[in-house]
Amino acid sequence: MAFFNLGDMTKEEKKTLIAHLEELRRAVLISVVAIVAGACVAFYYNEEILAVIVSPLSSLQQTLIVTGVTEAFFVKMKLALYAGFILAFPVVAWALWRFVKPGLYPRERRYVYVLLPVTVLLFAAGVLFAYFGILPLVLNFFIYIAGQNLETLFKVDQYVSFVIAFTIPFGLVFELPVVVFFLTKIGVLKPNWMAQNRKYALLAIVVMAAALTPGPDPVSQLMMAIPVYLLYEVSIWVSKWAAKGKTRPSELEGDDYQEADG
C-alpha cells in the first residue's frame, strides 16, 4: 500500500520531494565514497590492523588459524571495510546532519555544530570501550568455559567477524545521549517520560542486545545490555539538563521564523 500518490501532489510538492531525494542520494553517495576511500587506506595497513584486532586474544596466549585457501584474503578485506567505516564515520555523520539540516529551525541548526563532534567522540568511545573493556572479559570467559580438556583453536574469519559485530554496535548505541539531547531540545522527548518508562526501556535494551551481539550466548548479551542501560540512565540526566534550556514554542514561532526569513 502506497503512503502517498504522486498524482495528487502539486508541482511545488513534487519539486520538494525530488529535492529531498536528491539530498538523500548525495548523502548516501558521500558516505559510500568516504567508506571506500577509508577502506583502501586501511587495506594498505592490514597487517598492523590485524595485529591490533588479535591483541586481546594474544594477551590470553591464544592464536588464530586459517582453514581455507581464500580465508585470509577475505578476512583482510573485511577488516579494511571495518576500519574504513570507522575512519569515514566523521564524514558519514556530517553527511547525515547535512541531510537533516534543511528541515530544522535556524536555532536548532546550531545544535548540529555542537553535536557533530560529540557524535564522533561518542562513537569512538563506544568502540574503544567495547574493545578494551568488554571484549577481553568475554574472550576470557569463553576460554575458561572450554576448560583444560579442550584445545581452543580460533578461526581467524570467525574471530574477526565476532570482534566487528561486537564493537560497532557499541559505537552506535553510545550515540544515545546525543539523540536524547537533540530530541529533548526540539520538544519531541521529555525526561519525565524517559524516567517513567524505565522498565520498557530495559526490556527493549535486552531485546536489542540479543539482536546485536554476534552470538546466542547470554554472556555477551549481558555485557552489552548493562552498559547500554547505564547509558539510558545517563541520557535521562542529559534530557533533564537539555530541557532546562529548551527553546519555547513561542520563541520558535517568533525569533526563528524571523531569522529564517532574514
* pTM given for the model: 0.68
Assess if residue 195 is contained within a domain.
no
Report residue 256 as a C-alpha cell.
526563528
Assess if residue 53 is contained within a domain.
yes
Assess if residue 162 is contained within a domain.
no
Domains held by the chain: number: 1
Report residue 139 as a C-alpha cell.
574472550
Q: Tell me the pLDDT tens digit for each residue of 28-45.
A: 899 999 999 999 999 999
Sign of CA dihedral 42, 59, 120, 201: positive
Q: Tell me the pLDDT tens digit for each residue of 98-114.
A: 787 777 677 767 777 77
Assess if residue 87 is contained within a domain.
yes
Assess if residue 190 is contained within a domain.
no
Output the CA torsion 16→17→23→26 (10° steps).
Answer: -140
Assess if residue 236 is contained within a domain.
no
Assess if residue 60 is contained within a domain.
yes
pLDDT value of residue 35: 92
The answer to whether residue 54 scores a pLDDT higher than 60 is yes
Q: What is the mean pLDDT of the chain?
A: 79
Cα–Cα separations (whole angstroms), residue 114 to 12, 121, 141: 33, 12, 40
The residue ranking higher by pLDDT, 253 or 199, is: 199
Cβ atoms of 201 and 185 closer than 8 Å: no
Residues spanned by the domain of 40: 17-127
Those residues with Cβ within 8 angstroms of residue 122's Cβ, 6 or more apart along the chain or in another chain: 171, 174, 175, 177, 178
Q: Mean pLDDT across the stretch 171-192?
A: 84
- Write b or e for each residue in 166-184: b if 16 or more Cβ atoms lie within 10 A of its Cβ, otherwise e: bbbbbbebbbbbbebbbeb
Q: Tell me the pLDDT tens digit for each residue of 126-149.
A: 888 888 888 888 888 888 888 778
Assess if residue 207 is contained within a domain.
no
Sign of CA dihedral 65, 55, 172, 208: positive
